[in-house]
Structure 1
Amino acid sequence: MRRGIELRAAHVHSGPLEALHGIGLAAPAGTVTVLLGRNGSGRTTTLRALAGTVPLTAGTVVWDGADVTRRRPRARAVAGLCFVPDRQAVFAALGVADNLRLAAPDGDFAPALAAYPEPGPLLARRAGTLSGGEQRMVAVSRALLSRARVVLVDEPAQGMSPGVAARTYALLRGLDACVVLAEQRLPPGLRTAGPGEAAVLVHELRRGAVVFSGEAGEVRPAG
């Protein structure tokens, strides 16, 4: 039974400093969960803790009811978790086509080009030579192709034009997965849920602690 992914009483240290102070938050299956916060709030650390790329010093990571705290990032990936970090999210030395092909279980990356036609003329170029927005398109395309059960993305629309950003949030919202995004502000396209659209939940972090949890409609627009 798919329940989603969550942190329970999670502590994370970065050197002598504690980055997460015993936080608890849940990202239910079939929803889009947004981790909101300024730089230094702990949102990126939270995403990495869920992915396993930073270890917990205390607490647990629970996925579909099972404790996966001790599972390494690769094991979580094999089990169906896809993590798109904010930096170095593509294989820079490989071509765009190779990046997409590696993410597709059957080697067919045509659905990625249907979602993002823009990288189509750039398939032979090395991914590291693309602009920031183009790299984000390739990185999110890899998440779309992975057919993962849990998709974690740190600032998915970074460097994208407003139109491409809106398309990106619609694509992520349409996934049959538990989607968790880290953002500084709540994107306009995620403020409301139309018929058949995934619900959007928000956890706002400040200085390594959760200060608000609720529905997207309860979050005030940034002034």
Structure 2
Amino acid sequence: MTLISLRRAHVRYGPLEALHGLTLAAPGPGLTVLLGRNGSGRTTALRALAGTVPLCGGAVVWDGADVTGTPAYERARRGLVLVPERRAVFGTLTVRENLELAAPDAPDLARALDAYPALEPLLARRAGTLSGGEQRMLALTRALSARARVVLVDEPTQGMSPAVAARTYELLAGLDACVVVAEQRLPPALRAVPGVLAYELRRGALAFVGEAAELARPAGGQG
């Protein structure tokens, strides 16, 4: 089992503290969702796990080892993939070239196109000319093709239709990896899925932890 966690993590952007001693743990294989409004710290938590922002206190632990001082590129070499909300594709390269970069040792276009058939007629297009939803599909093929151990995705379904969003969460949940996604609200595709771990963040601190299905229940509801 893979486990990546933050332990009493503090992150500052200049005078602003974005994470206030946050502790969370994501097991794998499995899906963990970080929820919160803009400014809640969910994106910062992903970046801290990936090593793209430094901690000013606390630790990042991966499989029992402290990787707080391990640079982002080294975490990537060990099997961590981060798909950010923005600038997640190479806009000047074609869709095909982006797909080939996702797994340069063994490009598997068939696997990516099976996940998102809508990309096939776009293979010759430059990625920067795609719609927002198409770019998210292309960006996510990195996570689906890289055979990563840890996959971190910020707002994976932004710009997607409900059907494609549901398909995306089906794909992410099916990965043999520790998958952590950040969303503003609990995605409809996860509301009745058992075993999905949810953390709700508010102003850089933990407000809720439990199964995602618990958040979907009406207040006072049974079962």
Asked if the contact 2:81/2:150 (under 8 Å) is kept, the reply is yes
Corresponding residue of 1:161: 161
Corresponding residue of 2:111: 111
* Shift in Å, 1:108: 2.0
CA deviation vs aligned residue, 1:69-113 (integer Å, no higher than 9, x gap): 111111011100000000000011111101111112402221000
Corresponding residue of 2:211: 215
**Structure 2 regions of 5+ residues with no counterpart?**
none
1:163 aligned partner, one-letter code: A
Q: CA separation in 1, counterparts of 2:216 and 2:123?
A: 41
- Secondary structure in 2 aligned to 1:94? coil
Q: CA separation in 1, counterparts of 2:68 and 2:39?
A: 23
- Secondary structure in 2 aligned to 1:211? strand
* Shift in Å, 1:220: 3.6
Q: What's the RMSD between the two structures over aligned residues?
A: 1.4
Q: CA separation in 1, counterparts of 2:209 and 2:199?
A: 4
- Secondary structure in 2 aligned to 1:135? helix
5 Å-filtered alignment, 1:96-175, equals: 96-104=95-103, 105-175=105-175
CA deviation vs aligned residue, 1:9-58 (integer Å, no higher than 9, x gap): 10000111100000100001122100000000000000000011100001
Distance 1:222 1:47, change over 3 A: farther
5 Å-filtered alignment, 1:1-223, equals: 2-104=1-103, 105-193=105-193, 199-220=195-216
Distance 1:30 1:122, change over 3 A: same
- Secondary structure in 1 aligned to 2:9? strand
- Secondary structure in 1 aligned to 2:81? strand
Query: Identity over the aligned pairs, expressed in percent?
Result: 68
- Which TM-score applies when normalising by structure 1? 0.95
* Shift in Å, 1:221: 6.0
Larger CA deviation: 99-108 vs 203-212: 99-108
- Secondary structure in 2 aligned to 1:113? helix
Q: CA separation in 2, counterparts of 1:110 and 1:215?
A: 34
Distance 1:134 1:218, change over 3 A: same
**Structure 1 regions of 5+ residues with no counterpart?**
none
Q: CA separation in 2, counterparts of 1:222 and 1:110?
A: 42
Q: CA separation in 1, counterparts of 2:83 and 2:2?
A: 21
- Secondary structure in 1 aligned to 2:118? coil
2:29 aligned partner, one-letter code: G
- Which TM-score applies when normalising by structure 2? 0.95
Q: CA separation in 2, counterparts of 1:178 and 1:139?
A: 18
Asked if the contact 1:151/1:177 (under 8 Å) is kept, the reply is yes
1:217 aligned partner, one-letter code: A
